[in-house]
Chain A
Amino acid sequence: MSSEQDHLKETDTEARFEFKKEQNAAVKSDKGLTEEVIRMISEDKDEPDWMLERRLRALKQYQNMPMPTDWPGQPDLTELDVEEIVPYIRPDVDKREGVDDWTELPDEIKDTFDKLGIPEAEKNALSGVGAQYESEVVYQNMQDQWEEKGVIFMNMDRAVQEHPELVKEHFMTTCVPASDNKFAALHGAVWSGGSFVYVPEGVTVEMPVQAYFRMNSEGMGQFEHTLIIAEEGSEVHYIEGCSAPKYGAHNLHSGGVEVFVEEDAHVQYSTVQNWSKNTFNLNTKRAIVEENGTMEWISGSMGSKATMLYPCSILKGRGATDTHITIAFAGEGQDIDTGAKVYHNAPETSSTIESKSISKDGGRTNYRGLVHIADGAENSSTAVECDALMFDNESTSDTMPYMEIEESKVDVAHEATVGKIGDEDIFYLQSRGLDDDDAKKMIVAGFIEPITEELPIEYAVELNRLIELEMEGSLG
C-alpha cells in the first residue's frame, strides 16, 4: 500500500478534518456586506476597474433579492446571518499568487494540507494542485508537461490580471450571471480565490487537477470562483475537495463554478464536500455544453449544516451529453438538499442522473432536480434514478424531481426508491461473523457501490472512507 493511502487509514475525523489552526491573517475584512468591504477586497487584490464594477453591481443585485424561503421543504436558512459573516481573510503568506513549493508555506498552513494528504496525492495521482486557505490560494502548481502544451491552471485572482480577455468574456456573464440567485449575487460581490483552468484545443490532460479549499477561521465565508474552459476536443478532470474545522458560529461557503465545454470536449468535475457541520453550503455550479461535448458532475456531499446545491448542465449543442452522479449523506443536524438541473436545449442531447442518499440520526436528505427539454430538442433522452436509504425513524428522506417536457420526440424516465436498511441483511451479515457496525457499513458500501465503481479509484477510496467516518461511533 502506498503512503498515499496511509493517510486514509487514519480513523479519527478530529485529526483528519476538524483540527484548528491559529488565525494569522494579513488582511481581514469587517463583517457584513457593504460597498466599503467590496472596495477593500478589490483594492487589496489590485483589481482592474471592470472587476470592481462587476462586484458592485452584484452587491446591488444581492441587496435587491429576497432570501429564498419558499421552496417546498427547503433547508432552514434563518440562522444564517450574512451580516455576521467575515467575507474576506487573506492569510499571511509572502507570495500572493501562491507558492509552488509546499515548504515555502507557513508551518500551520503546510501542516494543514499535509494532514489533508494533498501533497501526497499530488505526487502520486495529479497533474496539478491548487490549495486555498481562507480567501486566497496559497499553493499552485502544475506539471511542466501540461504547461508546455498550453494548459493553464492558476488561481482565479491571478487569471484576472494575466488573462483579462478570457476572464472578462466568461466570468459571470452567460453561464452564472450574478442575477441568477441571491447567493450567486453574493458570490459575485465578494468572490476570492478559486481556480482558472484553460485547456487548449485537442489537449487531453491525463491525470486530474485538484483544488482543495480549506476554511480555518470561525465565522468566515469562503467564496472561491472556478472557471474552466475546455476548448474543442480537449479533455480534463477537475477535482475539488473542501473541509473546515467545526466552530460554534456559522460559516458560509458560497462558491461559483462555471464550465465551458466546447465542441467535442469532455469535462469531469468531481467534488468531495466535507465542510464542518456549522457551515452553510450554498453554491451555484453550471456548465454550458456545446455540440457533442460531455459534462460529468460527480458530487459527494458529506459535510455542512445545510447544503443547497444543484449542479446544472445546459446542453446547448446538438449531441451534448450530461452525467450527474450524486451521493449525499446526512447525519445528525444536517440538511443536505442537493440534486441536478439539466436543460436540453438542442436535438439529440442526453442526460443521466444517478442519485444515492443516506440519512441517519435525524439528518435529512433531499434530491431536488429539474430536467427541462425544450421544444425542438428532438430525439433527446433523460434518465433519472434516485435511491435513498434510511437508518432510523428520526431521519427524513425526500425526493422532489421536476420534469418539464416541451418536445414529444423524447425518452424521459424518472425512477426513485426509498427504503430502510434491512434487518434481514444485517442479521445475515452478523450470522457470518460481522458485528452490527460493520454489517451496516458493508450494506451502505454496497448501496453506493454502483456509483463508486464508476469513479476514479482515488476518489472512490476517499469517498468510502469519509462515509465510514460518518458512520463510526454513532451506530447503535
Chain B
Amino acid sequence: MSAATHTEVHANLTDEQVRQISDELDEPEWLLETRLEALDALSELDMPDVIRTPGRDWTNLHELDYESLVDPLNAAENKDQVGPEEAEVLAWSEAVDEHEELLKEHFGSVVDPQENYLTALSTALFSTGTVIYVPEGVDAEGVTIRTEQNSRSLFNYTLVVTEESSSVTILERQSTGEDSEALRASDSASGDEPRADEQYYSGIVEIVAGENSNVQYGSLQNLSEEAYNFTLKRGDADTYATIDWIEANLGTQLTKSGVETELNGDGSESQIVGAFYGHNDQHFDIDARVWHRAEHTTADLVTRGVTDDVARSVYEGVQDVGRDAWDTSSYQRENTLMLSDESEADASPKLIINNHDTEASHSATVGQIDQEDLLYMTSRGVQPRDARNMLVEGFFVPVLEEIAVDELRDDLEELIAARLRQRD
C-alpha cells in the first residue's frame, strides 16, 4: 500500500526541482548529492512508524495527500531568526556560505536523512533553515526563530551546534501567514480544484550538544488547522551535556511529531516537556523518546495535553536504556484531560531496559475534569464556564512551570486561554 503512494509522489518530484532548490541556496556539491540521494531513496523508504493495535492504526499517515500538497518550487515564508551577538544565528544560505565545514560535519549526523520517507522528502526539498552555532564557553540567551508559512508546502531545517561549556536558549515558532497569494498561485498553476487552505509543513531539527554544554530548545507550533505537519527533532548529548526540549502543539489538522534525545555522553541529561491542546478534528501524534547509551545519564519526560470536540491525541513515550547505560535514572509522566466525550486519547509509555543498574518509572493517566473540583468552585460562586477554564489552565501548570523560556510560557498560556475562550 505504501509503495503505491510513494511512486505517485515520486512521480511528481524530479531531480531538476531538487537541483534548482540547492542551486538557489548556492549549496556545495556534497549537499546537493545528499538531497538527490534522499530523493532517490523515496521509493524504498517506509512511512514513519505508527502504533498499531489489533484492528487499529493510531495515526494514518496515508491520509496525507502529498501529490497535491507538495509543491517544492513555490515555497514561500516569512522568516526571521535573531539572537545575541555571542552566538551565530544564521539563515541556511548564510550558513552554507560561512560554515560549510560545520555543516559537512553535522548535517544529517543526528537524524539520518533516509530514516524514513518523510525525513528523506524533507531533506530533498527543504528550502529554508537556520543554523545556530555557539562557541566554547559562550552563554547565549534569547535566540528566536519565527517561520510563517505562506505556501502550499514548506520544508524547514534547523541545526544547533554548541561547543564545550556553552549554553543557548532557543525558541522556534511556526505559524501560517495571512498572505495566501502563493497558495492561490500554485492552485491555479496545477489546475486542481482549490483545496481550501490545506498545507504541508515539515521540519527537521538536529542538535549537537558538545561536552558540558546546555541547550534549551522550545518549539511552539501554531500552524493553521488546515495544515499537516511532520516534524522530527533529535539531539545528541555529549558528556555532561544537557538538552531540554519544550514541545508545544496547538495548530494543524494532523501532526506527527517526534522529540528525541540520545544520551551518548556520560553524565548527560535530557528533559522533554510537552503540551498540546487539540480541538475540532485535530489529530496529534506526539512521540517523546530518549535513549540512555552512557553511564550516569538522567531523563525526565513530562507531557500534558487536552483533547476537545472530536480531536484525537496519540502519545508514545520511550525510555530506552542500553546495555552499557550504568546508573541510569529515567522518569516519564503523561496526563491527558478529555473535555469532550467525542474525543479520544491514546497513550503508550514504553520502558525498554537492558541494564539493571537503572531506576526507571513511568505513569500515564487519562480523565476528565474532576467533578468535585468543579463543584467546589461553582459552589463558591464561580460561573461553571469560568471554573472549567480555570481548571484546564491549572491542569497545564505543572508543564508550564518546567518552561524556563518566559516568552514561550507566556505565549503558550495565552494561546490556551484563547482557545478556552472560544468554547461555550
Chain A residues in the interface with B (C-beta under 8 A): 72-73, 370, 372, 375, 378, 388, 390-393, 395-421
B341, A416: Cβ atoms under 8 Å? no
Flag whether B47 is at the interface (Cβ < 8 A).
no
Please state if B366 and A412 are interface contacts (CB–CB under 8 Å): yes
Query: B93 contacts the other chain (Cβ, under 8 Å)?
Result: no
Closest to A310 in B: B54
Q: Are A420 and B356 in contact (CB under 8 A)?
A: yes
Min CB gap B56→A, angstroms:
7
Tell me, in angstroms, the Cα distance from A216 to B244 when the chains sit together: 57
With A388-B353, A390-B353, A393-B356 known to touch, is A406 a contact of B366 (CB < 8 Å)?
Answer: no
What residues of chain B lie closer than 8 Å to A398, measured between beta carbons? 350-353
Instruction: Supply 26 A–B pairs (Cβ within 8 Å), ascending by A.
Output: A370-B53, A370-B54, A388-B353, A390-B356, A395-B354, A396-B353, A396-B354, A398-B353, A400-B350, A401-B349, A402-B346, A402-B347, A403-B346, A403-B348, A404-B53, A405-B336, A405-B344, A405-B345, A408-B339, A408-B368, A409-B341, A414-B349, A416-B362, A418-B351, A420-B356, A420-B357
Chain B positions within 8 Å of A404 at CB level: 53, 56, 58, 344, 346
**Cα(A261)–Cα(B190), bound, Å:** 60
Chain B residues whose C-beta falls within 8 Å of the C-beta of A411 in the assembled complex? 367
Residue of B nearest to A411 (CB): B367
B366 A73 Cβ-Cβ under 8 A? no
A408 to B345, CA, bound (A): 9
Q: Given the complex, which residues of A lie within 8 Å of B363, measured CB to CB?
A: 413-416
Q: Does the CB pair A407–B356 fall under 8 Å? A: no
Task: Give Cα distance in the complex from A396 to B350, angstroms.
Answer: 13
Which of chain B's residues have a CB closer than 8 A to the CB of A375? 341-342, 344
Task: Name the residue on B nearest A409 (C-beta).
Answer: B368
B115 vs chain A, min Cβ distance (A)? 17
Nearest chain B CB to A95 CB, angstrom units:
41
> How distant is B330 from chain A, measured CB to nearest CB, in Å?
9
Q: How far is the CB of B324 from chain A (nearest CB, A)?
A: 9
A410 to B341, CA, bound (A): 10
Contacts of B377 in A (CB 8 A): none
* Complex Cα spacing A415 to B351, Å: 11
Check if B355 is an interface residue, CB within 8 A of chain A: yes
Residues of B within 8 A of A73 (CB): 352
Chain A residues within an 8 Å CB radius of B344: 375, 404-406
List of B residues within 8 angstroms of A392 by Cβ? 356
Instruction: Name the residue on B nearest A368 (C-beta).
Output: B350
Mask: chain B, 44-81; 1 = CB below 8 Å from A; 0 = not: 00000001011010100000000000000000000000
In chain A, what residue has the closest Cβ to B324?
A: A393
Tell me the chain B residues, 301-348 only, with Cβ under 8 Å from chain A. Answer: 323, 326, 336, 338-348
Residues of B near A391 (CB, < 8 A) are 356
CA–CA, A399 and B367, complex, Å: 22
Q: Which residues of A contact B364 (CB under 8 A)?
A: 401, 403, 412-414
Chain A CB within 10 A, most for which of B339, B340, B366: B366
A91→B143 CA distance, assembly (Å): 78
Report, nearest first, the 9 A-B pairs whose CB atoms are least far apart. Answer: A390-B356, A408-B338, A412-B366, A420-B356, A399-B351, A417-B361, A418-B360, A405-B366, A415-B363
Please indicate the chain B residues that have their CB under 8 angstroms from the CB of A409 in the complex: 341, 368
| Residues of chain B with a CB closer than 8 A to A406's CB | 344
Q: Chain A at the B interface: mostly helix, strand, loop or mixed? A: strand
Chain A residues whose CB sits within 8 angstroms of the CB of B354 once the complex forms: 393, 395-396
Supply 8 further A-B pairs (C-beta < 8 A) apart from A370-B54, A396-B354: A73-B352, A388-B351, A403-B347, A403-B366, A408-B338, A412-B367, A416-B349, A420-B356
Closest to A372 in B: B53
B116 within 8 A of A: no
B359: A residues at CB distance < 8 A? 418-419
List residues of chain A with CB within 8 A of the CB of B54. Answer: 370
B280 adjacent to chain A (CB < 8 Å): no
CB of A202 to closest CB in B, whole Å: 35
> Do B360 and A408 touch across chains, with their CB atoms under 8 A apart?
no
What is the bound-complex CA distance between A213 and B53, given in angstroms?
31
Q: In the complex, A395→B358 CA distance in Å? A: 12
Shortest C-beta distance, B310 to chain A (Å), equals: 11
Q: Is the CB of B346 within 8 A of A408?
A: no
- A391–B354 CA distance with the chains assembled, in angstroms: 11
Does B365 have its Cβ within 8 Å of any Cβ on chain A? yes
Given A393-B323, A398-B353, A410-B367: A416 in contact with B361 (beta carbons within 8 A): yes
Please tell me if the beta carbons of B362 and A399 are within 8 angstroms of each other in the complex: yes
| Chain B residue with Cβ nearest A399 | B351
- Separation of A73 and B361 alpha carbons in the complex (Å): 19
CA distance in complex: A72, B351 (Å): 12
Residues of B within 8 A of A378 (CB): 341
Flag if A419 contacts B358 (CB, 8 Å). yes
Q: Which residues of B contact A405 (CB under 8 A)?
A: 336, 338, 344-347, 366
A71 to B129 CA separation, bound complex (whole angstroms):
36
Taking a contact as CB atoms under 8 Å apart, the answer to whether A418 and B349 are in contact is no
Contacts of A413 in B (CB 8 A): 363-365
List, in ascending order, chain A residues with CB within 8 A of B351's CB.
Answer: 388, 397-400, 416, 418
Q: Are A415's CB and B361's CB within 8 A?
A: yes
Q: How far is the CB of A284 from chain B (nearest CB, A)?
A: 12
**Within the complex, which residue of A402, A407, A408, A415 is in contact with B362, where a contact is CB–CB below 8 Å?**
A415
Query: CA separation between A429 and B119, bound complex, in Å?
Result: 54
Q: Are B53 and A402 in contact (CB under 8 A)?
A: yes
Bound-state CA distance A419–B368 (Å) is 32
Determine which of B339, B362, B365 lies in contact with A412 in the assembled complex, contact meaning CB atoms within 8 Å. B365
Give Cα distance in the complex from A413 to B351, angstroms. Answer: 16
B338-A393 in contact (CB<8A): no
Docked pose: A410 CA to B361 CA in angstroms: 23
CA distance A390 to B357 in the complex (A): 8
Residue on B with the closest CB to A395? B356
A55 CB, nearest partner CB in chain B, Å: 24
Of all chain B residues, the one with the shortest Cβ separation from A394 is B323
CB pair B346–A419 under 8 Å, yes or no, is no
Q: How many Å lie between the Cα of A399 and that of B326 in the bound state?
A: 19
**Which one of B338, B351, B363, B367 has the highest number of Cβ atoms from chain A below 10 Å of its Cβ?**
B351
Q: Give the CA-CA distance A401 to B365 in the complex, in Å.
A: 12
Could you tell me the distance between the alpha carbons of A433 and B50 in the complex, rounded to whole angstroms? 53
By a CB distance below 8 angstroms, the chain A residues around B350 are 72, 398-401
User: Nearest-CB distance from B360 to chain A (Å)?
Assistant: 4
CA distance A401 to B54 in the complex (A): 14
CB neighbours (8 Å) of B339 from chain A are 408
| Residues of chain A within 8 A of B361, CB atoms compared | 415-418
Q: A393 CA to B353 CA in the complex, in Å?
A: 10
Q: How far is the CA of A7 from the CA of B343 in the complex (A)?
A: 56
| Residues of chain A with a CB closer than 8 A to B357's CB | 393, 420
- Complex Cα distance A355/B229, Å? 37
CB distance from A152 to the nearest CB of B (A): 32
Query: How many Å lie between the Cα of A421 and that of B359 in the bound state?
Result: 11
- In chain A, what residue has the closest Cβ to B348? A402
- Chain B, Cβ-Cβ closest to A366: B352
**A390 B358 Cβ-Cβ under 8 A:** yes
B339 and chain A: residue at smallest CB distance: A408
Query: Which residues of chain A are near B348, meaning CB under 8 Å?
Result: 400-403
Q: Could you say which residues of chain B place their CB within 8 Å of the CB of A420?
A: 356-358
A408 to chain B, nearest CB (A): 4
